[in-house]
């Protein structure tokens, strides 16, 4: 039996291919019937070859999705056939299996990593699969595969208090996830920077936040927390100017082109500002996922997706619309 998958053949070239459904699963491998998937900016960088050398072409794509367990490896204790699950690049431990190699109709080899979600069926390492306790509103739970765990981890690793002055740079999926979670935890003083004026006005009304469309207009050295989600190296360079001296933190969440370097003024660090990432220890989301899912139940997330749900065969259209900013996250239905 064959199923469809989005395959990256070379830079900016994605083709829908028919791949043979695997029958033998190695230890650690789980066959998942994927229902919904999404795309983020890190995946765009992968498609545009901005993440360094890619030795695995052609390969499957996607690292955030939801699906149903179709088959498990022999003696698997963690998952059962028929369970609803979330698929994520975020690990719950070291990988157990090697990436699966699929075959297309002509017998060509197609590579895959431990997680890939733009497939009708996918062989996924069990450390990238999280059981969903609540099966309502499955499609929105694609967000639990990428943006949400990254942002949630910031809250787990940093003491963010309700009265803190927070500045979020970039109102895409990551920035919005930060605003949603901080609002649900009672934070009041939130400022957002984004270049899209229409989006800013919508978000100002929706979340009762301060908005800015240019870095120069934001007050310097007045924020306890600055969360950099733009992936823009120029913004990264200027962000430490906004952080409060002696105790303020800048947390970098956006991903930059691997070839770019940045200049920073060391006086920011001398004056007691902290610069850190979203993940400050070995990425391991074991025991954290259910806490995130409980929090997620309370968040209203429909506005991330437009009313349009893309089909897998419309993957290139979904990517084009995402690049143009028509959707915060494109939602892709596998069948």
**Interface with Zn ion (CB under 5 A), residue from 142, 146, 312, 331:** 146
Residue 19 lies near Zn ion (rule: CB under 5 A) = no
Render 159-180 in DSSP notation, one character per residue.
Answer: ---TT--EEEE--SHHHHHHHH
- Least distance in Å: CB of 194 to Zn ion? 19
Nearer to Zn ion, 40 or 160 (CB): 40
Note the helical H segments in the chain. 41-47, 147-157, 173-184, 197-207, 233-239, 267-270, 289-296, 315-324
Q: Which is nearer to Zn ion, 52 or 272 (CB)?
A: 52
Report the candidate in 331, 233, 315 with the shortest Cα–Cα distance to residue 17: 315
What lies within 8 Å, CB to CB, of 108 at 6+ separation is: 58
x/- mask, Zn ion, residues 149-178, rule CB under 5 A, reads: ------------------------------
Closer by beta carbon to Zn ion, 56 or else 267: 56
Query: Rounded to an integer, what distance in angstroms lies between the CA atom of residue 112 and that of residue 58?
Result: 9
Q: Which stretch, 74-82, 123-131, 140-148, 236-244, contacts Zn ion (CB under 5 A)?
A: 140-148
In the complex, minimum distance from the CB of residue 223 to Zn ion, in angstroms, rounded to a whole number: 26
**Which residues are within 8 A (CB) of 99 and not within 5 positions of it... i.e. 6 or more apart?**
56, 111, 112, 113, 114
Q: Which of these segments, 48-56, 97-105, 111-119, 143-151, binds Zn ion (CB under 5 A)?
A: 143-151
Q: Which is nearer to Zn ion, 29 or 42 (CB)?
A: 42
**Could you tell me if 15 and 65 are in contact, meaning their C-beta atoms sit under 8 angstroms apart?**
no
Count of chain residues binding Zn ion (CB under 5 A): 3
Report the distance separating Cα 326 and Cα 234, nearest Å. 24
Binding mask 32-71 for Zn ion (x = CB under 5 A): --------x-x-----------------------------
Q: Please, what is the minimum distance in Å from the beta carbon of residue 41 to Zn ion?
A: 8
Kindly report whether the peptide bond that precedes residue 58 is cis, defined as omega within 30 degrees of 0. Answer: yes
Minimal CA–CA distance to 250: which of 234, 232, 268, 265? 268
Residue 257 beta carbon to Zn ion: minimum distance, rounded to whole angstroms: 16
DSSP 8-class letter at 246: T
Q: How far is the CB of 43 from Zn ion (least distance, A)?
A: 6
For the CB of residue 328, give the shortest distance to Zn ion in the complex, in Å. 13
Closest CB to Zn ion among residues 40, 235: 40
Minimum distance from residue 63 beta carbon to Zn ion (Å): 5
Strand partners, 68: 33, 84
Give me the residues that bind Zn ion (CB under 5 A), please: 40, 42, 146
């Amino acid at each position: 039996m064959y199923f469809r998958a989005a395959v990256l053949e070379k830079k900016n070239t994605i083709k829908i291919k028919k791949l043979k459904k695997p029958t033998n699963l190695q230890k650690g491998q789980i066959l998942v019937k994927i229902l919904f998937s999404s795309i983020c900016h890190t995946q765009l960088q992968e498609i545009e070859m901005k993440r360094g050398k890619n030795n695995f072409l052609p390969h499957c794509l996607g690292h955030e999705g939801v699906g149903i367990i179709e088959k498990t490896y022999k003696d698997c204790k963690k998952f059962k056939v028929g369970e609803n699950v979330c698929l994520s690049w975020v690990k719950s431990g070291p990988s157990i299996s090697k990436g699966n190699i699929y075959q297309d109709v002509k017998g060509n080899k197609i590579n895959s990593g431990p997680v890939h979600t733009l497939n009708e069926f996918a062989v996924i390492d069990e450390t990238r699969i999280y059981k969903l306790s609540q099966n309502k509103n499955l499609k929105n739970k694609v967000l639990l595969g990428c943006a949400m765990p990254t942002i949630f981890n910031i809250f787990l690793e940093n003491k963010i208090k309700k009265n803190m002055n927070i500045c979020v740079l970039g109102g895409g999926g990551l920035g919005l996830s930060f605003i949603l979670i901080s609002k649900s935890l009672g934070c009041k003083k939130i400022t957002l920077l984004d270049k899209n004026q229409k989006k800013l006005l919508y978000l100002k009304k929706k979340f009762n936040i301060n908005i800015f469309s240019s870095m120069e207009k934001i007050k310097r050295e007045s924020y306890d927390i600055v969360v950099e989600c733009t992936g823009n190296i120029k913004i990264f360079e200027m962000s430490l100017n906004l952080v409060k001296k002696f105790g303020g933190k800048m947390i970098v969440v956006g991903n930059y082109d691997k070839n770019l370097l940045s200049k920073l003024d060391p006086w920011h660090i001398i004056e007691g500002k902290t610069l850190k990432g979203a993940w400050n220890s070995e990425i391991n989301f074991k025991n954290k996922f259910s806490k995130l899912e409980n929090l997620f139940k309370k968040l209203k997330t429909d506005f991330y997706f437009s009313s349009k749900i893309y089909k897998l065969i419309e993957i290139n259209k979904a990517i084009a619309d995402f690049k143009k900013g028509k959707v915060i996250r494109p939602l892709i239905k596998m069948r």
